[in-house]
Amino acid sequence: DAEKKAKNLVSEAHNTAREIIAEANKEVVRIKFEAERLKKDLAVYKSKMAGILNAQLKLLEEFE
């Protein structure tokens, strides 16, 4: 009957929506994790670059 079909459609829609939300939440977690990893990588890069620049500055100062 039509009412039963309508209820089934609504139920399927709710299930599909839950699945979509669950996948979106997983993606949010993945992206946050990746953003944190990139922040750490940037901090390491900046530290290494600062060391290189300081070493170069010392070399330049020795030539003066």
Share of the chain above pLDDT 90, in %: 97
pLDDT in tens, 23-50: 999 999 999 999 999 999 999 999 999 9
Which residues fall within 8 angstroms of residue 36, CB to CB, at 6 or more apart?
none
**What is the total count of domains within the chain?**
1
b/e map 16-35, b = 16+ CB within 10 Å: eeeeeeeeeeeeeeeeeeee
What number is the average pLDDT over the span 12-31?
99
What's the one-letter identity of residue 19? Answer: E
Domain extent, residue 39, equals 1-64
Whether residue 64 is predicted with pLDDT greater than 90 in this model: the reply is no
